[in-house]
Amino acid sequence: MTVLYCRGAYVSTSLMPLEIFHSAGFMWNVCLGREPEPRFRITSASVDGDVVEALGPVRLTPDLPISDVEQTDLVFVPTAGMDVDDLLRSNECCLDWLSGMRRKGALVAGVCTGTALLAEAGLLDGRRATTHWAIASMFKDRWPAVDWRPELAVTEDGGVFCGGGLYSAIDLALYLVGRLCGRDVAVEVAKSLVLQMPRTYQTDFGFLPLSRDHSDAAIRRAEKWFCDHFPDDISVDRVAEETNMSPRTFLRRFKAATGETPRSYVQRLRVEAAKSMLEQDRMTVQEVSIAIGYEDVGFFRNLFKRYVGISPTVYRDRYG
């Protein structure tokens, strides 16, 4: 993976994610006296490969210029000051590079003002994204094709990831570790570095992942509707109406785009929400079940075990 060093960057958003990725498979094993098994090979890059003046009296020395990064699995763009025009001017040549990396299959992530580079490169058009609440209105005016959701701390849509405020860089990095290495590894990193598992709302609870990448805009709208209403009693007829389709057409297109039925999609969203609640909140299993839309706690327990492999109680004991 590659961390992009930008002029004026906040050092914490440049280095803390790097340390989190470095810790995956390493720190937890060291703490337990096991042989380290690092999960990431990390490089840092700048526009021209030269030392970058970060915020304050700090200089960041990259490994190489972006032109030498021909292939990577993940690009992480940090916060780089609040002057978005200056950020875009000084990193203009990064735009084609970011687009090129995404075309080659790399996941691309940006945090706070770093999301401006993703938006300017066109990577967020038609996608859900977040950024710092103080600049969200300006971002909405400047990039209206993006579905800006500043209340979210972390978003994922079609292989592009965003973090909201400055320290959402930690949430985003941990989420990416979980996304790429599995939730168990992310929890190990969080415990070994004494961090909380990712917040998903900048105000409260809740990141919910979208499906695999696809180009059906109407089904993307349906997915976002599901994410906003997953605890509710949802009918196919209602969502089909939201997307101006007949129920039969909606079911066919949803399965073709996402690879699963609306019912299983909503179940997965609910289980992901339950996992976050069990990790971070002191709610009982019954309270979690009701909060995500299941009055029948027995059904919830069976569903959770089917998706996760262990019961909600065991999950809380292991990861809470």
What are the residue numbers of the active site? 112
**CA 159 to each of CA 19, 110, 151, 208: distance values in angstroms, whole numbers, following the listed order:** 22, 12, 20, 14
Nearest partner of 243 among 230, 231, 226, judged by Cα: 226
Bridge partners, 46 (sequence order): 65
Nearest partner of 259 among 219, 229, 221, 294, judged by Cα: 219
CA distance 100 to 103: 5
Residue with tokens 């997953």: 230
CA distance 12 to 271: 32
Q: In what order do the strands lie in the sheet with 154-157?
A: 64-65, 43-46, 2-4, 74-77, 107-111, 160-163, 154-157
CA distance 183 to 187: 6
